[in-house]
């Protein structure tokens, strides 16, 4: 276990905010976490890789971080394998492990920043796959009582970038392990965007090829947080009614969209680009020039600058399209 007071979080948030935590504790096991619980006073923030949050200022309570590691096969049959990973495993290391072992299901989620624990909280998703599609079981410790609890996927109430851990049980549980159901005979998901086109000249496409294609797409479109602070997609893609969608489509016949349960999803990045924001900035906060859904720290930006840019963009999108867009990034 590692513990620090007045600890700089600069290297623990990909937006590159230079803020401090009053107390920062990194634990290595469930038992260590349980022993810590009686010592927790005031606000508690459980952090993963810090890749989906924006600190508004110093954190006056305790920041907890899981360093629970390990990836192990729990059960298998001819078709499937259940793999249990520690919450502190770097997500992309887990994906790399799965692909190396020939287990399919997470290859489309290659290179998403963050850790295994957060995959189950955020229901991370990309290129037609969401974490919920592969999660079989979530193990967690209640931050009040220290009691261990296991959640089946249905209990987690998953939806697009949503789970019960972000709603009713926000801040109540620390996820310690996640078990994923992976396929020994992978069914490739190539329908999203230009993945199929990228792999067109390959004869027998493997999950390793899909992983590489996705790594290439992400590297081309998304800024590297080590070079330019950012938290991936800053906004969620809104879902609107069919009527609303058809009305907008009249004016913008080339608008991209996805039919989803309950309506039509319109890419917020496209709307932001239509509003003229792509590659533009306000102060030291910018809109990425290759993907308008991503806000970037152009160097030394304050959280106020990022939030001002966020609010200005939301107003412009509302004015032009009549649609409310909301941050995906958690404001702390
Ligand atoms: N688009 C534009 N301009 C832009 C950005 C996008 O016109 O500046 C258009 C694209 O041409 C495309 C559509 O919008 O037709 C969708 O774009 P893209 O495939 O890049 O995906 P996205 O909807 O912008 C979502 C996820 C990403 C994920 C990609 C791929 C959310 C909030 N974001 O972005 O996730 O990688 O799909 O599946 O759902 C993340 O969460 O950090 C993240 C990167």
How close is the Cα of 41 to the center of ligand 1, in Å? 39
For residue range 274-289, what is the model confidence (pLDDT) as tens digits?
Answer: 999 999 999 999 999 9
Phi, psi for residue 180 in degrees, rounded to 5: -115, 145
Q: Which residues of the chain are modeled with pLDDT < 50?
A: none
According to the model, what pLDDT value does residue 319 have?
98
According to the model, what pLDDT value does residue 175 have?
98
Neighbours of 150 (CB within 10 A): 11
According to the model, what pLDDT value does residue 194 have?
85
Q: Give the separation between CA 127 and CA 121, rounded to whole angstroms.
A: 19
According to the model, what pLDDT value does residue 320 have?
98
How close is the Cα of 125 to the center of ligand 1, in Å? 11
State the pTM of this model: 0.96
| Beta-ladder partners of 45 | 63
Q: Give the separation between CA 46 and CA 313, rounded to whole angstroms.
A: 29
According to the model, what pLDDT value does residue 190 have?
95
Ligand 1 nearest atom to the CA of residue 51, by list position: 42
Residue with CA nearest ligand 1 atom 16: 267
Q: Give the separation between CA 139 and CA 87, rounded to whole angstroms.
A: 9
Known catalytic membership, residue 328? yes
Give the H/E segment covering residue 176: strand 173-183
Phi, psi for residue 134 in degrees, rounded to 5: -120, -10
How close is the Cα of 294 to the center of ligand 1, in Å? 9
According to the model, what pLDDT value does residue 325 have?
98
Cβ < 6 Å from ligand 1: which residues? 126-127, 192-193, 222, 232-233, 236-237, 256, 267, 269-270, 273, 278, 291-293, 328
Q: Which one of the listed residues 80, 155, 161, 273 is annotated catalytic?
A: 161
Known catalytic membership, residue 145? no
Helical packing angle, 207-221 and 91-100, nearest 10°: 150
According to the model, what pLDDT value does residue 237 have?
98
**DSSP H helical segments within 177-302, as ranges?**
195-198, 207-221, 242-251, 268-274
For residue range 8-56, what is the model confidence (pLDDT) as tens digits?
Answer: 999 999 999 999 999 999 999 999 999 999 999 999 999 999 999 999 9
Known catalytic membership, residue 218? no
């Amino acid at each position: 276990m590692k513990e620090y007071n007045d600890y700089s979080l600069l290297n623990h948030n990909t937006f590159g905010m230079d803020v401090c935590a009053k107390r920062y504790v990194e634990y290595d096991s469930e038992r260590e976490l349980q022993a810590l619980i009686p010592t927790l006073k005031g606000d508690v923030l459980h952090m993963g890789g810090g890749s989906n949050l924006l600190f508004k200022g110093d954190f006056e309570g305790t920041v907890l971080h899981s360093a629970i590691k390990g990836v192990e096969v729990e059960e298998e049959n001819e078709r499937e394998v259940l793999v249990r990973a520690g919450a502190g495993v770097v997500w992309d290391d887990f994906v790399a492990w799965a692909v190396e072992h020939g287990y399919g299901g997470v290859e489309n989620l290659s290179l998403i920043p963050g850790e295994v624990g957060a995959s189950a909280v955020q229901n991370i998703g990309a290129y037609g796959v969401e974490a919920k599609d592969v999660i079989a079981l979530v193990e967690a410790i209640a931050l009040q009582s220290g009691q261990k609890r296991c959640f089946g996927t249905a209990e987690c109430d998953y939806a697009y970038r949503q789970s019960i851990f972000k709603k009713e049980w926000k801040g109540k549980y620390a996820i310690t392990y996640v078990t994923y159901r992976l396929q020994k005979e992978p069914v490739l998901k190539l329908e999203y965007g230009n993945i199929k086109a990228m792999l067109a000249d390959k004869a027998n496409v493997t999950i390793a090829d899909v992983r590489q294609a996705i790594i290439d797409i992400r590297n081309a479109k998304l800024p590297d947080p080590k070079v330019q602070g950012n938290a991936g997609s800053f906004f969620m893609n809104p879902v609107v009614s069919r009527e609303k969608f058809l009305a907008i489509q009249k004016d913008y016949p080339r608008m991209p969209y996805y039919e989803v349960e309950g309506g039509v999803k319109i890419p917020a990045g496209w709307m932001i680009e239509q509003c003229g924001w792509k590659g533009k900035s306000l102060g030291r906060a910018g809109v990425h020039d290759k993907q308008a859904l991503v806000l970037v720290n152009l160097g030394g930006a304050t959280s106020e600058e990022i939030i001002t840019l966020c609010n200005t963009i939301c107003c412009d999108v509302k004015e032009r399209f009549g649609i409310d867009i909301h941050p995906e990034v958690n404001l702390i």
